[in-house]
Structure 1
């Protein structure tokens, strides 16, 4: 799949490239995926640079990305926990539960000063989903931070439910 393709389905997961336009209508996009019966979806932010190194107009800004993730999460947490797998949401919950991701964590000393000072380094330690540019500065850090801040109360509840050997799906009933 190239960055410009809209959707790719492989290994049972739908991969959706999210551009600036899709960020304007996250609820419509997610509802369309629900209606089509998607059970696993990965959202991939489009970040293309022009010849001068600036993001193109079609690219996602950090603020757009944060709003997009928060909007999708708000639907998912009320309707689709354990029904639709979204890797970022699954990985974030795993981190809240103390589980490592699929990749090895980096030592804090190998991270940029900005990453070392990030409140999320305890969870991600260089395995952060933020896309970094050549200076190791996260192009989407503020958007991910907005998502992590927004989702943390719900992640805490799901973590606590799992610790009690209960289903995180119970949160959906609590939010009704």
Structure 2
């Protein structure tokens, strides 16, 4: 069957099998390997992309179902050669270690900040609760998203969270709140 969709602002048409998952379409047919493939069961969240602006786990969406729709991947976050503030936040605040969960986390974080430009640490944890990170303990991910929110609001007071003293001064309350709120809630 033939499917046509817009991916990162570009219309694409491909011949596919009807059972092909969107994650495999993006990775294998379009070579957009930023979207990671983890579980095929909607548990890990590494495959989050946007379908018409809403985060979806692409391991549970058939590519044919995305036909006629807009799909945005982590490669589509950067604009004009500039990283999105969420991408910069993950770099500045060390929001990744192995990096496997990072693309899905970034897509969920960007969607959250588009809906709520000043989320609390608890709201961030709720938003990313459908995603698994086995490396960071989530505190640096929460900090990275708070960094991006502050950057966009123009209220960020340090350049990075490299310096533990500065990070503690600027983000200490956020980190304390993030570490006290258990992950849980709705999956993205």
TM-score (norm 2): 0.26
TM-score (norm 1): 0.27
